Structure 1
């Protein structure tokens, strides 16, 4: 090969290598947004007493159809770091300590007797009346009543009732979470129902088995949002419109949770009562993992400041925590707006 041809070949090879490098670099940037710090799930963060069996590693099919090594986490939806309830006050004279909280318009309201009495004014609808003439509040006081009210087509007998389901109704529940050990970005990001933007029939994750699945349970999402360190799941938005249109109220307790007879105790708000992993800097504390393996952190940091630079999913990146989410305000009825990564799965069954 003469010198001219050798130089041409060398130039061509160099250009080819540069294009190849750029393509690989572009692909990596697209998948990780130049975020090179990926933090794996830490099983030691979970409270051992909240587990039905030790956490194990298993191969599991993710939301995009690929298979990855996941942590299998088995719980019974019972928190060990705080008490459950109360939810519904029993009398109009009861104070805030006898009831839970309600989310409306981005705010949290104490569900005390005065709040129950004022519902017709609060919602500007005279049909609201959850109490008797003697001040006794109508409450679902049995499993049968709970099941009749906790469904999309609420039994008319339970219109104008405060709906609460007790822990004893779901004692035999078994929940299994499959969470990718190492988070894997899945561009474009999915919404919290695992739908990709502009893709009406995108691949979905496992749907919670909710039976009838109405109020006071979670939303109709294709996946739960994540898991707290106590083993309780963070649920999609509560279907408050369905709850309210039947003149029912399904309060959360002060920890942001309530019970669905088909899915057990779960959270719709982060109120600061669950186990948290404090950070060495002023960053907000960690409270769990999303179903794609990225960390879930509180809204406010140690200086009571909200995070800056969040993306549309409520996440951002730093070199200490990698990509992670910050949950929304407790009154917003939404933890995050979607998933950056490929999600694992979840099932709830009764033994």
Structure 2
């Protein structure tokens, strides 16, 4: 199997000998990674570092520290303010495997959509949508055990609520290490709280949003049209890929544009192929080999699953740039 970084090297037209040792090859590899993340708001790196991957393998990783916001656009909007607000003043939501506009009309129809008369996010007398409008309200509503005061709210956390100086450091293996079962057979692992990877714009590609828990509290936590929203601990992050993840690159010989790098070091390509069709023959993790190169394809935006699992040992994601990487430790949501 051709290595993922080898394909990145092709992107930058850099030839690296497979027998090259750390210094020369490392310099070229870091240059390729730097080019790959040129759309990101990079604070430090990329740099080579030693790491321990999720199954205990000692490996060489690259580390890159980024601010968790795209630098070429302002995220949002999320919640409409009034029942009359259209899609231009709201974000999107996931319902029955599809993305839909989370506009004022949607908020008004929630009792019918979910067949539950307890939904009342829209004030019946004024048409005002009940929206979290402070950092404190965001903290109380955007958590697994929603504060009962914020039942029947549209939950939005603005980028301004996030602590100044928040960064995320991603430590990802230079060469993917396949996961093996105790019998030596290929296996995979479910994606965890640290997310599935990082987009080319430096924004975290997250795991599935806890939609059932959100709905149980009679809340809606929309994504913007780019599939992202904010939490106070990790900043802006994606739960869906809709085409905003940075300057997608076509790797020579690849079947679709690259949109990010998974935590196991494999590339993540767009959901659709270059010809507009969807890829066939994907494994349970959403990946396949194409012309000798293994890569993932991001899930459909309405699936609430950018990637369901990883086939390689994962690295680390942390809001502490000095934490190092030992991915055998239990994952914590940043």
TM-score norm. by structure 1 comes to 0.79
Which string of whole-angstrom CA distances, capped at 9 and with x for unpartnered residues, describes residues 23-64 of structure 1?
xxxxxxxxxxxxx31221641200265111131110011101
Q: Does the alignment pair 1:269 with 2:269? A: no
Instruction: After TM superposition, list the pairs within 5 Å mapping 1:1-351 onto structure 2.
Output: 36-40=1-5, 42-43=32-33, 44-47=35-38, 49-132=40-123, 133-170=125-162, 171-187=164-180, 188-193=186-191, 221-275=192-246, 276-280=248-252, 283-319=255-291, 322-349=293-320
Cα distance between partner residues in 1 of 2:209 and 2:40: 27
Mean CA deviation greater in 178-187 or 117-126? 178-187
Q: Which residue of 2 aligns with 1:27?
A: none
CA contact (8 A) 1:192 1:225 kept: no
Are residues 282 and 339 of structure 1, via their aligned partners in 2, closer, same or farther at CA, if it must alter by over 3 Å?
Answer: closer
CA contact (8 A) 2:176 2:313 kept: yes
CA contact (8 A) 2:153 2:220 kept: yes
Count of residue correspondences: 288
Using the TM superposition, give the Cα deviation of residue 283 of structure 1 relative to its aligned residue in structure 2, in angstroms.
2.0
3-state DSSP of counterpart to 2:212: helix
Runs of 4+ residues over 3 Å off in structure 1: 279-282
Using the TM superposition, give the Cα deviation of residue 337 of structure 1 relative to its aligned residue in structure 2, in angstroms.
2.0
Are residues 54 and 165 of structure 1, via their aligned partners in 2, closer, same or farther at CA, if it must alter by over 3 Å?
Answer: same
Using the TM superposition, give the Cα deviation of residue 349 of structure 1 relative to its aligned residue in structure 2, in angstroms.
4.8
Using the TM superposition, give the Cα deviation of residue 177 of structure 1 relative to its aligned residue in structure 2, in angstroms.
0.6
Cα distance between partner residues in 1 of 2:49 and 2:39: 19
3-state DSSP of counterpart to 1:71: strand
Larger radius of gyration: 1
Q: Which residue of 2 aligns with 1:204?
A: none
CA contact (8 A) 2:253 2:291 kept: no
Using the TM superposition, give the Cα deviation of residue 341 of structure 1 relative to its aligned residue in structure 2, in angstroms.
0.8
Cα distance between partner residues in 2 of 1:222 and 1:85: 23
CA RMSD of aligned residues (A): 1.8
Mean CA deviation greater in 100-109 or 78-87? 78-87
Using the TM superposition, give the Cα deviation of residue 153 of structure 1 relative to its aligned residue in structure 2, in angstroms.
1.5
Cα distance between partner residues in 2 of 1:82 and 1:325: 26
In structure 1, the gaps of 5 or more residues are 1-35, 194-220
CA contact (8 A) 1:58 1:71 kept: yes
